[in-house]
Structures are given as structure tokens and as C-alpha cells.
Structure 1
Amino acid sequence: MADSGQARSAADSVTRARDIDRAQVSTVLDAAYAEGQLGAQEYHDRAARAGTARTLGELERLTADLQSPAVFGGQAAIERKRFGRRHSGEYPARTRARDVDRARTTAALDSARADGQLDADEHTAFTELASEARTLGDLSTLVAELQQRPAAPVKPKARNTFRIATIAAAVLVGIGCFGWTVREDQPAPAVAAADAINYNAAPPLVIPTPTLTTLVGFVQFRDDYRVKFGDTLVDEAVLHDEHASAVRRAPGNPNWTADYGYRGGFARSSSQITTRKRDAIDIDLAQVNAEALGAALTNAAATVRVPNGAVTHFRIANDSWSGRPGITIFVRNEVAQSGHFVLALSGEVLKTYPYEG
């Protein structure tokens, strides 16, 4: 008799997928592409297949070799739902590598060269292989003989949200009962009129941040970026409705990059710096035709034929398909129908991947 894992796998292979299942897989693919786990063509192919997948098995095969991606603009890991299977331990060797995994391996090779574990030729060869590695197994092989090796990434643990919610509810009920028991049967003292006037005299000033996936939002982001860094050069920028991220050359070291998050202001996403990608180029946000971008964002749903669609985010980076800087705009609706298209910085449409439902 087959064990429960095999039985579940067999059931998943024929169980029909819901729109929310397709949407979850599309989100994982979006993040994996941004992290460098997938190339442009692989991403486009998988995204198209996710939108037309009929079973859970088809969807699982699209993400089976991916790591659970990090949330844009933060360090918390997104738990990839694996249709009932548990997450534990390290990823298999065939799992796709992220840019950060390649950077950590390169840093380990640099340290090994510095302390004499590798000679110059070995270091050069291994570093080149690390930059081109596709899987965690490929990277692990390069550092297998070193004394100090980077820690292997592990799968995020699932949170028992039901248990947490139950405990929280019990605590709140207990606090409420305690407060009711010890409350005095006397009215609360009235607040003095003068105090009330002073309290209301200077209400806090709240300056809302515009939605970043609009013309106004992009201009605000670009202006704040110029103020923060003194220029408008990026390797990559990703803008969502309420937050954004940017990758640029590390201060004082043009061969490394640093990551920044943006929520009305810029802050380092982590203290680490990583080796700059070989194909990275300086992209000048000042060269983006903001008016053309705004028009493209406004008409994005019609451009990719997504009914009632909305822009989820857009990415400014060196586009591998066109070989030049581009702006990729992603659109999705509530039933997981999606599409995307690529603009030149001037606003010219370079490539369209419409929804074909």
C-alpha cells in the first residue's frame, strides 16, 4: 500500500486548481524572477503556464525547484504553499539558486583566496562558475572543500496561525473579564476643558505617500531617491502600491551592490552587500519618461487584455530580452488573470505578454 505522502502526491496531480492556487503560484514566480532564480524567458514561460494550469500537480511542477522567495522590500520569507506538504530542513540540491546565494558563495571563495585555500586561477574559475550557477547543488560543489562554507538556505517554518489566534482571543477575553470585575461603579473623572482644548490644539500632521504605481507615485519615489543618494542611478528598482525596493552600487565600492527598501523614505534592507551582477548597468531614473510611464500604468489592463485588472507592481532593470534598460509592468485581477509588458525608458512598448483566456 502506498504511503500517505505518495497518496497525497497522486491526489495533487489530478486535483483541479482554483484561481487562488494559480494566483499564489504566479506570485511566487514574480518574486523568484526578481530574486534571480529564473531568467526572463523561463519566467515568461512559467507565468503563462501558471495562468492556464488545470491541476495542482501542474502548478507544483512550476515551483518545485524554487526557493520560497523573500518579500520585496523586506527580509521576511514568504512560505510557499505546497498543497499540504510540510516544510522542513534544507532545500534539495536541484533547487534554483538566488542572486544572494551566488553572492554568498562568491564571498566564501574570496575569503578562501585571501587565506590561501585557493590559488588565483582556482579562484577565478570558481568565481565565474558561481556567477553562472543555476542550482544550490552547483554552488555547494564549489565550496565543498573549503574550511568555511556559507550556510545552506532552509525552508521557512509554517506558522500555526489558528493556535496563535486562539491564544490571543483567550488573552483578550481574560483581560476583559478582569477589567469588568475590578471596575469601580463610579463615572470616570471628566477631562478638564482646558486639557481638552490643549489636546486638540495641535493635531498631528499626516502626509500621505502617493500610490507608487502611478505617475505621481513614481515621481515622488524618484525625487526622494535623488535627495537620499545625490543621483538617480540604480541597478534595479521595483515599485508596488505602498512600498518599493532599489539596488544600487555600494558606497565606496563600485563592484558591490546594496539593497534598500522604501516606504516614504529609504533604509537599508540588510547590512550585507553583494557582488554586482556582471550584466548590471547603471540605469538613470531621470531618463524615464514619467508622463509616458504614467499613461502606460493607467492603460495597463487594456494593454494586456486583463478584465478589471490593476497594476500590482513594475520593475525597472536591464531587460535580458531586449538587452537594454526596460520597465516591466505586471497586471492581475481578482480571479488571477494576468499579463505584463515591457517599456523602454522612453515609454515605447517593446514587448507585450497579454492574457489569452
Structure 2
Amino acid sequence: MADSGRARRAADSVTRARDIDRAQVSTVLDAAYAEGQLGAQEYHDRVDRAGSARTLGELERLTADLQSPAFFGGHPPAERKRFGRGHAGAYPARTRARDADRARTTAALDAARADGQLDADEHATLTESADKARTLGDLSTLVAELQQRPVVPVKPKARNTFRIVTVAAAVVVAIVGFVWTVREDEPASAAATPAPINYDAASPLVIPTPVLTTLAGFVQFRDDYRTKFGDTLVDEAVLHDEHASAVRRAPGKENWTAAYTYRGGFDRSNSQITTRKRDAVDIDLAQVNAEALGAALANAAATVRVPDGKITHLRIAVDSWVGRPGITIFVRNEVAQSGDLVLALSGEVLSIDPYEG
């Protein structure tokens, strides 16, 4: 088995990559960046390398140290075994950490400070290190001596698609056979009697959520956000076509934050609250110049010079490159050509990172 694995990797190292392979890797990098596994410079560098990769081996190296993005069905962390024994499905220590992993580590440090395992100086030092940690191994070291350690991310299990389809087909056949048997056994008079029709029953009114990477989608998100929380203040929001996430101050806890997911409505993404970052600021979505944002979204592909480009997602946060709240618009096409631009909330263009093709 080990020899076959080495043989496969050797073959992949020289096998030519397709455009769809490059596009899939770029999509994984997009999700990893949104989750905090990659910094901005690393993200742009890897995306550029993915776009020019010639072999599957080159592409594999770009994602080898990443966790499976939660956007693509990554499993929630499983409970860690006691006494430091590793979980069978745990990622290697070199795997990049997500913002959620750093948040869980910070929560464990906060709990340890509260119950006396850490003094104030130790807590401050370890918390700062957690904020800067790049890998799961870095985070694990910070909590290795604690009695209660955070849960460990595990790799998603591969799904046996053929087995699922086969079982589903068998179930359908069984149901159809049962229904046919029951119908044959029914008396003729009963079978001929139609079920009463309730003409007063009205179909539910379904109002689809607009694509969130459009102006209409952003406005819908902002209105729903105001309805849910009573204000439009957010630390960070990321909007994809059909779902979004938001981080804001936790209710009644000024120095803590809570994370939420949005799919036409808001739900807590986890049950924990975490320490608010020292450099976090309240970003008021009400201050976004909707007219300017709409114009930027409409012209985004042309602005960043991505042929046939489409917007993958928006990120509203304090941008590390410009040092102030901004709206980053990410654009990509089917052959992994990409670019992005950053707007101030007022609509002023703060930076443009075009595709250099």
C-alpha cells in the first residue's frame, strides 16, 4: 500500500494539470483565505502559482498544509482524547490553523486563566501567541499543559458515493414495490375513490434570497442583520453567493465576540464566544455607500482585468494593506485568473490588485 501511494505521488508529480484542476485548487485557496489559514500575501502568491501550475504535483503542494475548508463539508472538530493521545483522524501539526482554531485556543486559555491554571502574565503572553499562530502544532503547544484543551480538527471522511447511490436505489425500488402491492390489494371501489382536494390550501410563499455578491444581496444581508441584532455594527463579514458569515461583539460582553452564519437568516456558527482582538473596530454597515458599491461590483471584472471574471466573495473588515475598514471584492474566472480591489465604506477605491496576464 505504501509503495502504491509513492507510485501515485510520483505519477502526479509529472502528470499535466487541466484548467479545471487549477480552478479547483484556486477555489480551495479562496476558502482557506476566508477562514484565516492564509495571510493576504500568501494567498495571492499561491493563487498566482496555481494559475501557472503545469502539473498535479505543483497544485498538490499548494494545498498540502491546509485543512479541508469548512465551506466544502469539512467536519466539525471531534472531542480530543484524554492524556494527550492523538485522534486517529487529526491533521498533521504542520497544517495551517483557521481563525476558528485560534478562537478555540484563546477560549481554552481564557478558561484556564479563570480557574487559576494561568496567571495574568502567562495568559496575556499565550493569548498573543495564539493570535499569531500559523499552524495547528503552534496552537497545540500553547495548551499542552492545560487540563482542558480545545477540540482537535479532524479530516473529513471520504464518502462512498457508489454505496450511497446503490442503497438509495434499493430503497426506492422497495418503496415502489410496496406501493404497487398495496394498490393491487385495495378493493376496486376504494381504489376508484379519489382523495378529497382542499382548494383552500395555499402554497407557501417562498422569497428567494438574492445572490449575496450583488448589490441587492448586500442590501438584503444588511437589512436582515439590522433586524436580527438591532444595529449594523460588525467586526468582520464575508459574503459568498449563497451564504455569509459575520463576527460581532457578543451580547452583553464588550470584550468578546460571537460568530454567526447567514443563509437567509442568522444562526450561531458555534456555541463559544471568544476574546475580541485588540485591534478590532466596530464597522458600521450602514455607512457603506450602496451606490458606489453597486458600481464597483458591476465593473469589478474589468477593473481588475480578469477576462470573463465573476465575483467569488466580498470581505468587509479592517484591511491589513490599507489599515482601515474596507470592502475587498475578489474576482476569478474559470481558468483561475484572479484579482481583487478594496473600497472604503464611502466607495473610494483604496487599492487594486489586477490580474497581470
Same topology, TM > 0.5: yes
Q: Which residue of 1 aligns with 2:320?
A: 320
1:170 corresponds to which letter in structure 2?
A
Contact persistence 2:107–2:273 (CA under 8 A) = no
Q: 1: distance between equivalents of 2:18 and 2:329?
A: 25
Q: 1:277 to 1:55 in 2, by over 3 A?
A: farther
2:154 corresponds to which letter in structure 1?
V
Q: 1: distance between equivalents of 2:195 and 2:149?
A: 64
Matches within 5 A, 1:230-249: 230-249=230-249
1:224 corresponds to which letter in structure 2?
D
Q: Which residue of 2 aligns with 1:150?
A: 150
Matches within 5 A, 1:129-148: 129-148=129-148
Q: 1: distance between equivalents of 2:265 and 2:145?
A: 43
Q: 2: distance between equivalents of 1:190 and 1:225?
A: 48
2:194 pairs with 1:190:
yes
Where does structure 1 lack aligned partners over 5 or more consecutive residues? Answer: 80-87
Matches within 5 A, 1:185-224: 186=188, 188-192=192-196, 195-199=197-201, 202-224=202-224
Matches within 5 A, 1:1-357: 3-71=3-71, 76-77=73-74, 89-184=89-184, 186=188, 188-192=192-196, 195-199=197-201, 202-357=202-357
Query: Could you tell me how far 1:164 is from its partner in structure 2?
Result: 0.4
Q: 1: distance between equivalents of 2:68 and 2:31?
A: 9
Query: Could you tell me how far 1:205 is from its partner in structure 2?
Result: 2.3
Query: Could you tell me how far 1:188 is from its partner in structure 2?
Result: 4.2
Query: Could you tell me how far 1:321 is from its partner in structure 2?
Result: 1.0
Q: 1:208 to 1:127 in 2, by over 3 A?
A: closer
Q: 1: distance between equivalents of 2:96 and 2:260?
A: 24
Contact persistence 1:239–1:315 (CA under 8 A) = yes
Where does structure 2 lack aligned partners over 5 or more consecutive residues? Answer: 77-87
1:294-328 Cα deviation digits (max 9, x unpaired): 11111222222333322222111111111111111
Q: Secondary structure at the match of 1:280?
A: coil
Q: 1:197 to 1:90 in 2, by over 3 A?
A: closer
Q: 1: distance between equivalents of 2:69 and 2:232?
A: 27
Q: What's the TM-score once normalised by structure 2's chain length?
A: 0.88
1:257-278 Cα deviation digits (max 9, x unpaired): 1111222222222222122223
Contact persistence 1:211–1:217 (CA under 8 A) = yes
Query: Could you tell me how far 1:191 is from its partner in structure 2?
Result: 4.6
2:28 corresponds to which letter in structure 1?
V
1:26 corresponds to which letter in structure 2?
S
Contact persistence 1:41–1:321 (CA under 8 A) = no
Q: How many correspondences in the alignment?
A: 343
Identity of aligned residues (%): 81
Q: What's the TM-score once normalised by structure 1's chain length?
A: 0.88
1:332 corresponds to which letter in structure 2?
R
Q: Secondary structure at the match of 1:238?
A: strand
CA RMSD of aligned residues (A): 2.4
1:343 corresponds to which letter in structure 2?
L
Query: Could you tell me how far 1:207 is from its partner in structure 2?
Result: 2.4
Contact persistence 2:319–2:326 (CA under 8 A) = yes
Contact persistence 2:75–2:154 (CA under 8 A) = no
Bigger mean CA offset, 232-241 vs 272-281: 272-281
